[in-house]
Structure 1
Amino acid sequence: MTLRKWFYLFWTTLVIGAVAALIIGFILQSTDQKISVLNGNEIGFNMVTMLLGGAMISVLSQMGFFSYLIVRFIVMGMIRAKWITDTLQLICVLIALVDLVFLRHEDAQESWLTYMMLPLILLVVAFSTSWWKVKLTNKNGFIPTLFFMTAVTAIEAVPALRINSAASTLFMMIPLLACNAWQILILSKVLKTNKEPL
């Protein structure tokens, strides 16, 4: 990883996070006026706020991504057997998905089904991204991508999840998922480790 490649990854992820936040912000604002800053009177101010929020979320996503890469490198050095690391990652995925339901529901009055929506959507996005990663590289990329897209995304989304508001969760999760998916999928292209076309 050279500085030039890191700059490319940084700026493209920043743009994706800002644009995703802007889009979801306008959708949320059009459906719920409580989200609007200054009651929607200052469109430019709202747009700048959403762009800055998305940029901040993208930086959080990048911190999580590079932390994941470092921890993965250390764990792969300590545990040589790939099946053990894959099993540990799958257990962490399961724990993250269960925690997204149970820890958020413990004091809530809503039904379980309401709290199962987020983990299900997260799992669908993670499976789709993992499948795409396998197409770009090889089958060894499936479980690490699944782990990153579920467990790491769930950890990164803790600030929004603590508020326990659907709007704040959507505003943070959608840019996070977009940034995380972008980073994990583009990494092999940036490092030139993609599969050669047949």
Structure 2
Amino acid sequence: MNSRKLVNFFFKTLFLGGLAGLITSFFVKAEDYRTILNPLDLMELVGLVVFFVGLGLVFSIISQTGFFAYLFLNRLGLGIFKSYWPTVQLLLIAFVLFDLIYFPYKATEGEVSVWWYILMSAAILGYGLVIAKIKAKQTHKRAFVPALFLMIVMTTIEWIPGLTTEGTDYAWLMIITLLACNTYQLLVLHRLSGSGSDQTKHTKKKTNRKK
């Protein structure tokens, strides 16, 4: 991947983060928008839109930092654990999913039903499985576990600031933006670097045409 592609990759992810943050705000902060629209206060509306776009951009940068940390960690894990690295990743995934249920539930001292946290973890796991399957189909089967690790473990680590805020609004804003950015980065990276089954098929087609 050359520098031009890398810069393009960065700004596209940044744009996606800003857009995801804005769209999510329409749902989780709908009351704020209703207050400004009735009656219409144009300056307040522009300020609110700029705020949530800016928030999405910040979450996007957190996502990109975590993504490149994941690339380094994946190489490091392969070097240390070798063939056991997929197993280690699966154990870490299980540990993080358990933490997403146990610690938030314990922090609320039982005020929120544990089933909400189970559903939250199940939703993140389900989404991660879908994206990891797509990644494995586009590249190779060995990519499934690392992709699942990124979508669950790394996303959860990136989400920690959102989990520590009061209320759920900003937690929702952050997790949806992070998932959108991580999904984009994961599914596009191999196309930019020229690896994966799609690229291989494309190369074979060009070779056959030349023949």
**CA offsets 1:61-89 (integer angstroms, 9 cap, x no match):** 000000111111122122322xx100100
In structure 1, the partner of 2:7 is: 7
Is 1:65 paired with 2:67? yes
**CA offsets 1:77-113 (integer angstroms, 9 cap, x no match):** 22322xx100100011011111011010103111101
Q: Classify the secondary structure of the residue corresponding to 1:79.
A: helix
| Shift in alpha-carbon separation, 1:106–1:187, aligned structure 2, 3 A | same
* Aligned equivalents of 1:164, 1:134: Cα separation in 2: 37
In structure 2, the partner of 1:96 is: 96
More helix by share: 2
* Aligned equivalents of 1:142, 1:131: Cα separation in 2: 6
* Percent identity for Structure 1 against Structure 2: 29
Q: Which runs of 5+ in 1 are unaligned?
A: none
Two-structure CA RMSD over aligned residues (Å): 1.6
Question: Do 2:29 and 2:169's aligned partners in 1 also have CA atoms closer than 8 Å?
Answer: no
In structure 2, the partner of 1:16 is: 16
Question: How far does residue 2 in structure 1 lie from its aligned partner after superposition?
Answer: 2.2
Candidates 156, 159, 181, aligned match of 2:158: 156
Letter in 2 for 1:79: F
Question: Do 1:104 and 1:164's aligned partners in 2 also have CA atoms closer than 8 Å?
Answer: no
Is 1:52 paired with 2:66? no
Runs of 4+ in 1 over 4 A off after TM superposition: none
* Equivalent runs, 1:32-43 vs 2, <5 Å: 32-33=31-32, 40=36, 41=41, 42-43=44-45
**CA offsets 1:33-81 (integer angstroms, 9 cap, x no match):** 4xx6xx5341100100011100010000000000111111122122322
Larger radius of gyration: 2
In structure 1, the partner of 2:149 is: 147
Question: How far does residue 168 in structure 1 lie from its aligned partner after superposition?
Answer: 1.4
Q: How many aligned positions are there?
A: 192
TM-score (norm 1): 0.92
* Equivalent runs, 1:124-139 vs 2, <5 Å: 124-139=126-141
TM-score (norm 2): 0.86
Question: How far does residue 164 in structure 1 lie from its aligned partner after superposition?
Answer: 4.8
Question: Do 1:105 and 1:112's aligned partners in 2 also have CA atoms closer than 8 Å?
Answer: yes
**CA offsets 1:135-189 (integer angstroms, 9 cap, x no match):** 1101111000000000000000000111252211110000100000110110100
